[in-house]
Amino acid sequence: MRGASETERPAVCGSLLWAVRRCAARDAFCARSVYGLVLLDRRHSAMALYDTIISGGTVVTASDRILCDVAIKDGKIVALGSGLTGADEVIDATGKLVLPGGVDAHVHIAQPSGEGIVMADDFESGTRSAALGGTTTVMPFCLQEKGQGLRAALKDYHAKADGECHVDVSFHLIISDPTEQVLGQELPALVEDGYTSFKIFMTYEGLALKDREILDVMSVARDTGALVMVHAENYDAIRFLTEQLEKRGQTAPRFHATSRPIAVEREATHRAISLAELVDVPVMIVHVSNREAMEQIRWAQNKGLTVLGETCTQYLVLTEKDLDGLGMEGAKYVCSPPPRDTESQEACWEGLRTGVFTIFSSDHCPFRYDDPQGKLTPKGRTSFRWVPNGIPGVGARLPVLFSEGVMKGRIDLERFVAVTATNPAKTYGLYPRKGTIAVGADADIAIWDPTKTQTLTHDLIRDGADYTPYEGIEITGWPVHTLLRGKTVARDGEVVGQKGLGQHLSRAKSPFAVQRDPVAS
């Protein structure tokens, strides 16, 4: 009977019932035995084939869209097809879009931020906002402080995340102190442990690496098959401009943008590319804000170099004029690189359309505004240079791009999925487990209502900050149901899953980097 097909089972059960009646007339034990088989078969035939079916929606991947059902079992997508039945739970997605859960490859959560400064989000609040915004995997940065080993930094960071996350997390490393111990022992071992990407800074006190240090870090990446991310701004140029502005008494938040003009980003982008070319290592230039820096990346790509680009929400919808608010209001928009102008916005859209930028992230770096440990720190009132640098955005990332991009015809749905989910997963070694809707992938899914309209407010995204820089943007399209490995974590604007469902993910090496891995070759 175990091998009987679904169509054969009724006939089999009928034969067994006939056998029960025949045995009952002769032998009560025989009847009980065969009747037990009938009950077993009935229980088997009634058992659900799937845990959940999402029915009637339009499934969209980075390459296709199709009207079909999605079946989920044990946290995985196990079937795609029409008219699927046999699930414990059916989610009706008629008229809605069924997209892969977002992968935000660039967020800052619970990160040390300087004396007297406290980041607004811990892992609970940051991942809560991610779930509400349709994101199911976030990739925050484990910051190595000066004098600290990477293993010690990771131990501390894992302790902050364990049991707190509503969505999955995977850590990048920030290398601020590239000692011989770090470069020769810790970093290669950690790459093999699944921490396959790390970030270096060309600016910020205590974080900026010298060119020789950058070359040393890139060399380790070359030897281990890791992917290097670069924050490209010229530190010395920023310090020079900042000092000049302060001498003139130009210390209001709006002068943050003046101190970091396009030229300092363009120069550092070109220098980072040149250093990567010397070492022959792939590099990701993160949070690109303008055409001139984008053209440096395009130039390198046309030359055949493996140079990848990322842009972020703020560079599509904000400008430096947002820093002009009365008093300290402009501090809400202080981030680096700063928002630019409308021409730069169009350049960033162009980069997304043409593939110069393959990843779209939030660079979520939240600080409360009305808080002396946040944007209104006492030192920050004396000069823009001391205002905590960063803005919140993990929950707003996908709705803003969907509304401003897809619904306004700047990008299509497939490109939206590619830059927000599939490409980040591929680039950072999580694909095909994450970033797509396919049999065998984790059932990380965001169901979108493309007709839902509302005004974006902080109440909708509920991170740990007390504001959103995107307040007041009219949004069309919203994720109304988010599932992590088949479990509902957010629905209709409420987080319904328990914290702790999210896990830390170790990662494979990036396919861009592993091509140059001498061990693999």
Q: Tens digit of pLDDT for each residue in 121-131?
A: 999 999 999 99
pLDDT at position 19 is 36
Q: Which residue has the tokens 């996350």?
A: 165
Q: Which tens digit of pLDDT belongs to each residue from 25-72?
A: 334 333 333 333 233 233 334 578 999 999 999 999 999 999 999 999
Residue closest to 306 by CA, chosen among 517, 2, 52, 56: 517
pTM of the model: 0.90
- Delineate the domains of the chain, giving CATH numbers in brackets: 9-46 (no CATH), 100-511 (3.20.20.140)
From CA 56, how far away is CA 83, in angstroms rounded? 9
Residue closest to 478 by CA, chosen among 507, 508, 443, 448: 448
> What's the average model confidence in pLDDT over 280-305?
98
Round to the nearest angstrom and report the end-to-end CA distance of the chain. 51
Q: Which tens digit of pLDDT belongs to each residue from 368-415?
A: 999 999 999 999 999 999 999 999 999 999 999 999 999 999 999 999
pLDDT at position 16 is 29
- Other CB atoms closer than 10 Å to residue 28's CB: what's the count? 10
pLDDT at position 46 is 53
Instruction: List C-alpha distances in Å: 81 to 5, 94, 154, 227.
Output: 20, 15, 42, 37
pLDDT at position 68 is 97
Please check the confidence at residue 332 and state whether its pLDDT lies above 80: yes
Higher pLDDT, 30 or 325: 325
Strand 172-174 relative to strand 135-143: parallel, antiparallel, unpaired? parallel
pLDDT > 90 in the chain, percent: 88
Q: Which tens digit of pLDDT belongs to each residue from 210-268?
A: 999 999 999 999 999 999 999 999 999 999 999 999 999 999 999 999 999 999 999 99
Length of the chain: 521
Please check the confidence at residue 296 and state whether its pLDDT lies above 90: yes
